[in-house]
Structure 1
């Protein structure tokens, strides 16, 4: 079941596609739904995708197609089978027409929350803020995302450097070997490789000059998985 905002966005997108074959921009969708930022639109689109109402098309940033409407009826029209022929020789059934793909126009940049700095060395507190970070939409997949500015050098062998922006997909679970944001003792956050180590949790750096950090499982809470990186050159 869709929320009112999700249904409103789906209806708004479909209206634009029906009218001209192209979708509204993120800015137009934001204004139509009276939202304060485009990150809200990104979350709504991700929710619609997870519920099977739309899907992302490959090789294009933020290109989507509508799969169904809230009543479950498909958007694409299909060719009806011909009526029975009066000839002695029966006619073959006409092939079903393929579903019509209706792309949404590419929107290159969206904004996600920038929640301060996170340690890639010794754990430091990750401070929250109201700052938004413009991000190429192609870097983000489904789900809710936020960004953290990296501080330290313990992940340099994974290509993560001091001053990079880590793009994080919100989640509370992770598999061994994934790079995660780990909150330690509900106080300090760090960016590390995640591993189970018996009944404990081990957070591994990607720098031979740094040592792994081992904690009781109850001390560590996953706050997200690394989805991408942004780097400034100046």
Structure 2
């Protein structure tokens, strides 16, 4: 039997995994459960882990997996995972590589005549796609590392909680979680060392949403 807060946290983690394939941050858990500090979140997470409702995934920052639910004891559905693979040789497509994008403070996303070879399976469907090289560490808790290649599906809108390429003031692009909050656009990092960026809606334009990552190992 779980406490009310433990149950609320378990379901919140599962909802976020099903929606976006990544765990919520401890700050997001704190806000969702209306807790006063992240130490309370740590206690709840530890309790769920000890009782084998969740587990921490090794070698990944802030990565949780829901194992089962208290009502039935049945296993949870596997979330949609953000794929990260090494480049393969089969079914390769060439994506335009439009410079670097900040996973930190916004930097200019420069146009480029370069291209990136990408396994077609990573793109997960139809539509126009492009790639950007990640610069910075503000999305590391979502498994997005400095030097990764972000694979982006072009679009001009996205749901709350999706990771998007956001163009700020028609000048600077950044890779962040998109939130709509009190009439503002909030661009949230996935690193507790960074703070959210808030803008009036007319200052932010969605250029695409993240569909995959490509990581090369030298």
Query: TM-score scaled to structure 1, two decimals?
Result: 0.54
Distance 2:167 2:192 in 1: 23
> In the TM superposition, what is the alpha-carbon distance from 1:142 to its structure 2 partner?
1.2
The residue that corresponds to 1:67 in the other structure is none
The answer as to 2:215 corresponding to 1:225 is no
Gaps of 5+ in 2: 1-89
In the alignment, structure 1 segments of 5+ residues that lack a partner are: 1-106
Q: What displacement does 1:198 show?
A: 1.6
**In the alignment, structure 1 residue 143 sits paired with structure 2 residue 127:** yes
Separation in 1, partners of 2:96, 2:208: 14
Aligned residues: 129
Report the structure number with the largest CA radius of gyration: 1
Report the CA distance between 1:229 and its aligned residue. Answer: 0.2
- Tell me which residue corresponds to 2:31: none
1:194 and 2:178 correspond: yes
Cα distance, 1:134 vs structure 2: 0.5
- Specify the alignment match of 2:93 in structure 1: 110
Match of 2:112 in 1: 129
- Asked if 1:166 corresponds to 2:154, the answer is no
2:20 matched to which residue of 1? Answer: none
Residue 178 (structure 1) aligned with residue 162 (structure 2): yes
1:94-153 Cα distance to aligned partner (Å, 9 max, x none):
xxxxxxxxxxxxx61010100000000000000010111110011112110000000000
2:102 corresponds to which residue? Answer: 119
CA–CA separation in structure 2 for the residues paired with 1:233 and 1:111: 19
Please give the alpha-carbon distance, in whole angstroms, between the structure 1 residues aligned to 2:182 and 2:113. Answer: 39
Normalization by structure 2: what TM-score?
A: 0.58
2:200 to 216, 224, 232: 216
Over the residues paired in the alignment, what is the CA RMSD in angstroms? 1.2
Aligned partner of 1:152 among 136, 158, 168: 136
Kindly report structure 1 stretches of 4+ aligned residues shifted beyond 3 Å: none
Residue 44 of structure 2 aligns with which residue? none
Q: SS where residue 233 of structure 1 aligns?
A: coil
Counterpart Cα distance in 1 of 2:127 and 2:171: 25
